[in-house]
Structure 1
Amino acid sequence: MPYGYPGFPGGHQGAGAPGSQGYPGYPGYPGYQGQGPPGYGWAAMPMTPANGMGVTSLVLGIVAAAGFCLWPLAIVLGILAIIFGGIGRGRAKRGEATNPGQALAGIICGIAGIVLGVALMVVLVVMPDDAFEEDGASNDDSYSTTLVVDF
């Protein structure tokens, strides 16, 4: 048995040699039929999944939920996570992506980031400063600095 690659379908004579039929997959050879061998070529290659939107949604959602202390940024990133997650879920439904779970997790984390950011905004901005004092006492000293002498 000889070593190396197998020969052309017409035998070991080579394409275009006397008595050969040529290789049907390449133009310029005798017997070219206008198509490549079955199972080869770009038409049979499956498309790679477009998972970028789902991954982006998950990353933005995690950053929004974990970084809610920066509440303006958390709200913006949460909104972006919901938008990208919706696009990613749509791509997964059409079969263009393979990660609908990541997109859904990004939507959930984005919602959590928005809720936490809004809650922190309410605590810091909307609530009055008096709400943090314990006795309702003000910050000024009520002690008099005058000296009173009773005789």
Structure 2
Amino acid sequence: MSGYSEPPPQRAYTPARPPGERPAHNGLGTTALVLGITGSVVGLVWTLFWLAGALGLLALALGLAGRGRAARGEATNRGATTFGAVLGLVSLTLSVVGAVLVSKTANDAAAPPATASYRPADPRPALH
């Protein structure tokens, strides 16, 4: 015996996906979800209403575009995309509430302070 053994048989190559099938494009939905979550959390800080509005607008736009991809069968994350769009709307709503609160606070700070009604003392002496 020479100690020589035959190598094990090699398995046939199988591709990761069948030929002609395209991979799912889930990037828009995932990005919409991340931006929606971030915008909603930032929207809770009412002084950052401008950032919440920008993130909410992007999340809504990307979420709607991702839903279109999911409807055409190009993406597989329809639920995450929908939730991202909804959180974009929540973020936009929080942005509007924050803008109103900032505006009200600024107007209250700029207004002159309310004074108590001043009534001068009666110049006539009091009768006892």
| TM-score, normalised relative to structure 1 | 0.59
Within-5 A mapping of 1:1-150? 4-5=8-9, 44=19, 46-68=21-43, 69=45, 70-126=48-104, 128-129=107-108, 138=113
* Identity percentage of aligned residues: 35
Q: Cα deviations across residues 95-142 of structure 1 (Å, max 9, x unaligned)?
A: 110001111100110100110111011011146307xxxxxx937799
Structure 1 residue ranges, 4+ long, deviating more than 6 angstroms after superposition: 139-142
Structure-2-length-normalised TM-score: 0.68
Mark the runs of 5 or more structure 2 residues left unpaired by the alignment: 1-5, 118-128
Kindly state the Cα deviation for residue 75 of structure 1 after the two structures are TM-superposed: 0.3
For 1:113 and 1:3, the matched residues in 2 are separated by: 62
Bigger Rg, which one:
1
Cα separation, 1, equivalents of 2:88 and 2:28:
14
Counterpart CA distance in 2 for 1:118 and 1:54 is: 24
Letter of the aligned partner of 1:101 in structure 2?
Answer: G
Distance 2:39 2:94 in 1: 9
What amino acid does structure 2 have at the position aligned with 1:54? G
Higher helix share: 2
Where relative contact order (Cα < 8 A, 6+ residues apart) is larger, the structure is 2
Q: Which 5+ residue runs of structure 1 have no aligned equivalent?
A: 7-38, 131-136, 143-151
Residues in 2 aligned to 1:95 and 1:80: alpha-carbon distance in whole angstroms: 22
Aligned length: 106
